[in-house]
Structure formats: C-alpha cells, structure tokens
C-alpha cells in the first residue's frame, strides 16, 4: 500500500469515529465492523468474473479525503412549489450523500408513510430500521460495500406501511457538488399489500464536479406489495460512481426497476435481486448511453431462491466514440426453484468503430422444470433500417437519431412523469447530436 493511501486510510478511520459518535450504539457498532472489514478485505482480483472489465483500484479513495457534504442544494426540482406538490407524493433532497430536506404530502404522511434521513431513521424508527438495514449486505465479503457502510454520511429511508397505495411517485433528488470521497446508504421498505413508485435522480451541480461516490441501496418488497424503482444518473463525466443495489422480493410481490445511466466518467454498478416467494415477479429495464471515453460496467443477478415466480430483464446500450460498455448478467435458479421463469436480454448499438461493448449473459440452473432464456447482441445500426428511413426522405443524421430513439423509447416510457421522460429524451438527443 502506498504512503498516500495509508495516510488517507488513517484520516478515514478518524472519520468513521466522528460519524459513529452521532449514531445509536447498534449502528455505530455496524459502522466500525464495516471499517474493519474494509481494511482487512483484499482488493478484488482482476481475474474474478465481475472485475475483468474494470480495475477495482480505480474505486479506492486514493488521495481523496472524505468530503464534507454541502448544506445548499441549489435550485429545487420543479415538482415542489411553496409547500404544494405537482405530480409527486413527496420529495427528498440530498446533497453529497446527505439528506437536506424531505417533504411529503400531508395526506400521505397521515397514512404513516415515512421519508427521512437514514441516520435519523436509525434513531426515530429504530425497530424497523434495525430489522432491515444491512440485512441484505455482507460487508465482510465486499470491500466497497464495507467502505460505504463505514463512511456513509446519510441517505434516504422510505417506509410505506401495510396496505398503503401511493398514486404518485416519491422523488429523491441527489446532487453532487464537490470533490473527494462521498458515501451514502439508503433503505426502502414496502410492507405487505402496499404500492409505491420511488425515483432516484442523481446529477452533478456543475460540469466540473469531480468525486468518487460509493452508495448502497437495500430494497425490501413484502408479500403482495408492488414497487417501481427508477434510477436516473446524468452526472458530469468527472464523477466516479459505484452503486450497489440489493433487492428482496417476497411472495406474490412485484418489483420493476428502470435504470437510466447517461453520466459519470467511470461507472461500476451491481444490482442483485432475490426472489424469495412463490408468485414473485421482477422486471428490470435499463438504458446505457456512453460516449467520449466513458467506461460503464453493469452487473445484474436475478436469483430465484424459490420457484414458481418470474423475472425478465432488458438492458439496451448505445456506445459512441471511444466509450466502452460492459454488461454481465446472471440468471440463477436455485435448488428449490422448480417452476421459475426467467429471461434476460442485452442489446448494444455501436455508433463508431472505436466504440466497444462487451456482454456476457449467463444462466445458472440448479434444478429442473424451469423456463429460461438469455440473449445478447452487439453491432452497428441496421443498414436496412437506415435505407428505409432514407427512402422516406430522412437525412443520415435524422435516420440515425430516429432509429436510436426508437431503440431506447420502450424503456424511457416506463419512467414516471412526463417531465423526467422529457429530460431523459433531451439529454439523449443532445448526446446523440454531439456523437453524430
């Protein structure tokens, strides 16, 4: 280990103690245990399956000190005006990993819905937070999850009680405004027969912001509950982003995730979903757009621990210029997974000869009587589609943009709210224009 890294780790160890001093005892103990796990865990070997495309050393703090979260957010999202809500049930505002403000519709609050900072929840809602927080995470097995657990300054806690159905989404707007190491952890608990949509919207406040963000999210969807979970990441290209998302879906429950990754210079994303009950249903949709020299690496796991349930995944990627995308997806059917249905697709469009996309869809089937499929494709725009557009009077540039928009639109339409859909379309159109 270099002298610089040793000095940084000493500083981070002191930061762990400062953070633990403000935590309840059980959380302080978990934080310290995570730091010990981070220090003792070896860096993942590049020969390991999930690290063949991304150097894990680039996710270490290096010379970065732990950033102090800012206390101003800048302009508020348009969903909230002077205490009234438009199109959302509630809004949480984060800056640099710490929740600054959370406001929810009074009618929602009266039904017991909670949106607050995760560290506040550890004190004010200890019973439920202690039950679920870190329940899906094993810091001793993952060096970077241990890092975010040890150093998180905050995050968002969402709890929707049993039987409560939200007719509008909860939006969590997270803005990065500084340099250094940032860490956050969030927790979503959707109780039995409840229904909600939660949108995470991550971006940087200026184009020059450079930071390393390790964030973790745990999601629990109880029996017969329904959750749509949306991630929109449009950060500046200097950000290094390493999200880890772990979901658990119980009997007759449904989870739909929509991931839109358009920003950051380096992304290493891991998303794991456990289906633990019969009748559970999981749908995972994704858009990746990378250009210039962006490096984007996604890994997903749909883990059917029990059978008679279903999962379906569809990730669509566009890579331009000298960018690189990597996708590794695993469908796992456990020994008790009879009757499971699982499908996976990853399609990649290359806009330039210098762009690169690697895709590895996998099946791990440990029992019989299942229906599974996987598919992957990497290639340029289809010549016949281009010719069809030419024959209708479109220019080459117009044809290319139309085909790519049509390729991505089925995922964009799953984003709740016309404002967010239009923002994603605008960003994609701008990036396509730059890449043309």
The pair phi, psi for residue 266, each rounded to 5°, is -135, 125
**Could you tell me if 375 and 252 lie in one domain?**
yes
Q: Check whether residue 415 and residue 308 sit in a common domain.
A: no
Mean pLDDT lowest for which of 216-225, 307-316, 346-355, 382-391?
382-391
Calculate mean pLDDT across residues 108-117.
Answer: 95
More confident residue, 364 or 398: 364
Tell me: do 261 and 314 sit in the same domain: yes
pLDDT more than 90, % of the chain: 69
Same domain, residue pair 278 and 327: yes
Residue 44 has pLDDT above 60, yes or no: yes
Joined tokens for residue 386: 């281009």
Q: Closest Cα partner for 152 from 131, 122, 197?
A: 122
Of 342, 397, 382, the residue nearest 365 (C-alpha)? 342
Stretch among 4-13, 88-97, 256-265, 384-393 having the lowest mean pLDDT = 4-13
Q: Each residue of 289-299: b (16+ CB within 10 Å) or e? A: bbbeebbbbbb
Q: Give me the count of residues in the chain.
A: 436
Beta-bridged to residue 29, according to DSSP, are none
Averaged pLDDT for residues 111-115: 96
**According to the model, what pLDDT value does residue 81 have?**
47
432 and 287 share a domain? no
The phi and psi torsions of 16 (rounded to 5 degrees) equal: -55, -45
- Burial classification of residue 312, based on how many CB atoms lie within 10 Å of its CB (0-12 exposed, 13-18 middle, 19 or more buried): middle
| Chain centroid, CA 305 distance in Å | 22
* Beta strand pairing call for 80-81 and 84-85: antiparallel
Task: Give me the domain span that covers residue 395.
Answer: 383-436
371 lies in the same domain as 387: no
Return the number of other C-beta atoms located less than 10 Å from residue 435's C-beta. 21
Number of domains in the chain: 2
> What is the distance, to the nearest Å, from the Cα of residue 183 to the centroid of all Cα atoms in its chain?
14
Of 370, 194, 184, 195, nearest in space to 275 by CA: 370
Element (H, E) at 226: strand 226-233
Which of 382, 399, 426 corresponds to the end of one domain?
382
Residue with tokens 């019969």, as numbered in its chain: 278
Same-domain pairing of 272 and 418:
no
- What is the per-residue pLDDT across 121-160, written as a single tens digit (0 to 9) for each? 999 999 999 999 999 986 655 899 999 999 999 999 999 9
* Whether residues 271 and 389 fall in one domain: no
Q: Are residues 180 and 197 in the same domain?
A: yes
Q: Which two tokens stand for residue 214?
A: 């390790």
Do 413 and 302 belong together in one domain? no
Residue whose structure tokens are 């249905």: 341
**359 and 391: one domain?**
no
* Alpha-helical regions (H) of 83-237: 106-109, 118-124, 126-132, 143-151
- Torsion region of 124: left, alpha or beta (phi above 0 gives left; psi -120 to 50 gives alpha): alpha
- CA distance linking residue 34 with residue 38, whole number of Å: 6
Q: 255 pLDDT band (50/70/90 cuts)?
A: very high
Task: Tally helices (H) and strands (E) across the chain.
Answer: 9, 21
Per DSSP (E only), the strands in 74-194 are 80-81, 84-85, 90-95, 98-104, 114-117, 156-160, 170-176, 181-190
For the CA atoms of the chain, what is the radius of gyration?
21
State residue 67's pLDDT score: 86
d(C-alpha 209, C-alpha 78), whole Å: 23
Q: What is the pLDDT of residue 295?
A: 97
Given 357, 382, 407, the domain boundary residue is 382
User: Residue 119: what pLDDT?
Assistant: 96
Confidence of residue 397 (pLDDT cuts 50, 70, 90): confident
Same domain? 309 vs 398? no
Q: Which of 341, 357, 382 is the last residue of a domain?
A: 382
Q: How confident is the model over 379-393, as a mean pLDDT?
A: 87
């Amino acid at each position: 280990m270099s002298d610089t890294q040793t000095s940084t780790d000493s500083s981070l160890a002191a930061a762990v103690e400062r953070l633990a001093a403000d935590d309840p005892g059980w959380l302080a103990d978990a934080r310290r245990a995570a730091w010990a796990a981070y220090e003792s865990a070896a860096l993942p070997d590049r020969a390991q399956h999930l690290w063949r495309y991304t150097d894990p050393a680039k996710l270490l703090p290096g010379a970065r000190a732990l950033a102090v979260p800012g206390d101003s957010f800048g302009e508020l999202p348009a969903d909230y005006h002077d205490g009234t809500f438009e199109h959302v049930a509630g809004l949480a505002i984060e800056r640099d990993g710490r929740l600054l403000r959370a406001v929810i519709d009074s009618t929602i609050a009266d039904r017991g819905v909670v949106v607050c900072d995760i560290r506040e929840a550890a004190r004010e809602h200890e019973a439920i937070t202690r039950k679920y927080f870190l329940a899906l995470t094993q810091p001793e097995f993952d060096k970077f999850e241990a890092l975010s657990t040890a150093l998180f300054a905050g995050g968002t806690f969402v709890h929707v009680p049993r039987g409560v159905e939200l007719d509008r989404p909860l939006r969590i707007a997270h803005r990065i405004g500084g340099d250094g190491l940032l860490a956050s952890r969030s927790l979503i608990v959707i109780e039995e027969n409840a229904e909600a949509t939660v949108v995470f919207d991550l971006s940087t406040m200026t184009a020059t912001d450079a930071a390393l963000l390790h964030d973790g999210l745990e999601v629990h969807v109880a029996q017969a509950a329904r959750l749509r979970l949306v991630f929109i990441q449009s950060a500046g290209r200097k950000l290094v982003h390493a999200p880890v998302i772990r979901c658990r879906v119980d009997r007759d429950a449904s989870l739909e995730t929509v991931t839109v990754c358009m920003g950051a210079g380096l992304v290493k994303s891991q998303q794991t979903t456990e289906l633990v009950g019969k009748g559970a249903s999981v749908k995972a949709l994704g858009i990746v757009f990378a250009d210039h020299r962006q490096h984007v690496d996604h890994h997903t796991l749909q883990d059917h621990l029990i059978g008679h349930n279903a999962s379906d995944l569809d990730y669509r990627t566009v890579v331009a210029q000298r960018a690189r995308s990597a996708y590794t997806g695993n469908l796992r059917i456990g020994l008790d997974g009879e009757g499971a249905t699982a499908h996976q697709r990853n399609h990649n469009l290359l806009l330039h000869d210098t762009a690169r996309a690697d895709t590895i869809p996998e099946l791990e089937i440990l029992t019989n009587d299942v229906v599974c499929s996987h598919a992957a494709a990497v290639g340029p725009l289809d010549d016949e589609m281009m010719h069809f557009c030419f024959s209708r009077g479109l220019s080459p540039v117009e044809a290319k943009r139309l085909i790519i928009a049509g390729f991505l639109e089925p995922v964009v339409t799953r984003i709740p709210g016309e404002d967010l859909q239009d923002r994603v379309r605008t960003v994609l159109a701008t990036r396509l224009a730059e890449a043309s």
